[in-house]
Amino acid sequence: MTRIIITGANGKMGHVIRSVVAGREDCTVVAGVDFNTQAADFPIYKTIAEVQEEADVIIDQPCPLRRSADLFRRQVNALGNRHHRLHGGAKGQD
């Protein structure tokens, strides 16, 4: 089973991704990151550095104010080697 972390988990695209993943049997969302930490079927943290869960994939769907390749790199660096594959959803990210 593929374990997923979604940044922007409570945003519009975050909700779309959550719905798609909920309908699949081969993956699950293990954690989210969002300024809005409203409860979900998984824990949601304010920063990526707080995430304790192990994941195979991070899907980055940041709000427009956070669409910066530099911020995405800092988030990835904060995770260290705990996560392997990354997907940046905002246009223009490296």
Predicted confidence pLDDT, tens digits, the chain (94 residues): 999 999 999 988 999 999 999 999 999 999 999 989 987 899 999 988 899 999 999 998 765 555 555 666 666 676 665 555 555 555 444 4
The pair phi, psi for residue 31, each rounded to 5°, is: -165, 160
Q: What share of the chain is helix, strand, coil (3-state, %, to 5)?
A: 30, 25, 45
Closest to 85 (Cα-Cα) out of 54, 59, 57: 57
Distance, CA of 71 to CA of 64 (rounded, Å): 12
- pTM (predicted TM-score): 0.70
The tokens 């798609």 sit on which residue? 20
